[in-house]
Amino acid sequence: MVVIGVTGHRFLDEVDRIAACIDQALQRIEEAFPSESVTIVSPLAEGTDQVFVQRALAHRRVHLVVPLPLSPEEYLEDFVSGEARALFWRLLARADEVIHLPPAPTRDAAYAAVGRYVLDRCDVLVAVWDGQPARGPGGTADVVALAREGGKPLAWIRPTSHGLEVPHGPLRCETEGSIRFERFPSTAPAARPHL
């Protein structure tokens, strides 16, 4: 079994490009971590999490684990789009496991805790990250930094529309730094215990 964790920005431009990079990341993960089963750990946040989970579910059978930082009703207060709130409920209904994390003293602490939960349970992390510092505790940059400190394999999808010129022509995720694979094994790792 390979366990894939997801982190990334809530607000995304060029979703089609990011989705294509997600597909490339999933293919590379399957090659680097050959396994009959795939588990995804994602809190189904608006943006990256939802795009990633939709792409994975569209192409393969996955075991979906959803850790929630807050109650669903409280969590959805931070979603901007009504479409994202509706998608959250649809994806949550497809979850194989829903984990309600212990209450945290603040919202920021709850988000930091869910980021750590995802990171602690995955074999490889997929991050859609603009490369900028975190905008709050537990943000994407913090999760990526912790993954790197811990030597976790990382598929970093870097959006190209955050103040950068987007290249024209066919999508080439591995150019212009838009996707990078860090610490990917050349052979399958030893089996990990189930979540």
79-104, pLDDT tens digit by residue? 999 999 999 999 999 999 999 999 99
pLDDT band at 189 (very low <50, low <70, confident <90, very high): very low
Q: What is the pLDDT of residue 183?
A: 95
* Across 72-78, average pLDDT: 97
Which residues 6+ apart lie within 8 Å of 134 measured at CB? 140, 141, 142
Average pLDDT over all residues of the chain: 86
Q: Strand order in 124-128's β-sheet?
A: 97-100, 63-68, 38-41, 2-8, 124-128, 154-157, 179-182
- What is the domain partition of the chain in residue ranges? 2-182
Which residues 6+ apart lie within 8 Å of 5 measured at CB? 40, 41, 42, 118, 119, 121, 122, 124, 125, 126
pLDDT of residue 194 exceeding 80: no
The answer regarding whether domain 2-182 maps to CATH 3.40.50.450 reads yes
47-70, pLDDT tens digit by residue? 999 999 999 999 788 999 999 999
149-165, pLDDT tens digit by residue? 999 999 999 886 443 33
Q: What is the pLDDT of residue 168?
A: 35
